[in-house]
Structure 1
């Protein structure tokens, strides 16, 4: 007898496996957080979690949406995604390294705590990110120019 059920696609199976793995990791983290309260300080972790969510929803998302909207007016369509992605990557790198390049946690009497020039290093990383973006934009512009030359003249 034939079964007439719908077979899941490979993508659906992969998404399901990734979801199960994510839930397992989440469970492990919650178990660790609640299982060692003297080391993890769950109320403080909850404040950080809620604060991070509020900061994202009330500040980061509206600013990102506004910048994205402005970019739709200033940057042409073929290059817009590259510029938007590069801005998001740049902000992410800068915010992730904020404590380092601002010098938080360092000790003035112990220069070995923060021994590297983090501000300069951030500038190097951001320069590399924007250099890749510039190369992508140049490749897209060159491809568009070649496409216009190869297109037959409609007149």
Structure 2
């Protein structure tokens, strides 16, 4: 068992060293992306998400509504992250038939509209269910 573990360790170390050797020539152009992502997250995205969470926690007191709104915000952020490269600049790779010729801003708008329509519908259903439950509790007393 020790021999197998040692062999696997040596194979993993050799693979990591080979990958590191291949990465070194590309480290110059890659370094801003490797450093910029975590810095952007820590200085912009995380504090903004925290402030939005604090504001929502104070403005929306019902847990179910807060959960639904949080779902909508997370789904919207995911759609925006996926669409950002397509909206920001034209594709740099050879075109994939059918992909670059789409109307990406319209697709993003439709996706966001569907997400927020689903959130609004869920909020309406939750409100109706809560009112029915409250009226049943007051009727039985």
* Fold match by TM threshold 0.5: yes
Query: 2:86 matched to 1:91?
Result: no
1:20-39 alignment runs, 5 A limit: 31=16, 33-34=19-20, 36-37=22-23
Report 1 or 2 for greater relative contact order, CA contacts < 8 Å, sequence distance ≥ 6: 2
TM-aligned CA deviation for residue 43 of structure 1:
4.5
Q: Which residue of 1 aligns with 2:7?
A: none
Give the gaps of 5 or more residues in structure 2. Answer: 1-11
Choose from 137, 141, 146 the match for 2:123. 137
What is the RMSD of the two structures over their aligned residues, measured on CA atoms?
3.0
Counterparts of 1:19-98 in structure 2, within 5 Å, are 31=16, 33-34=19-20, 36-37=22-23, 41-77=26-62, 78-98=64-84
Aligned pairs, how many?
122
- Structure 2 SS opposite 1:114: coil
State whether structure 2 residue 133 is matched by structure 1 residue 147.
yes
* Structure 1: stretches of 5+ with no match in the other structure: 1-26
Q: Which has the higher helix share?
A: 2
Contact 1:33 1:42 (C-alpha < 8 Å) held by counterparts: no
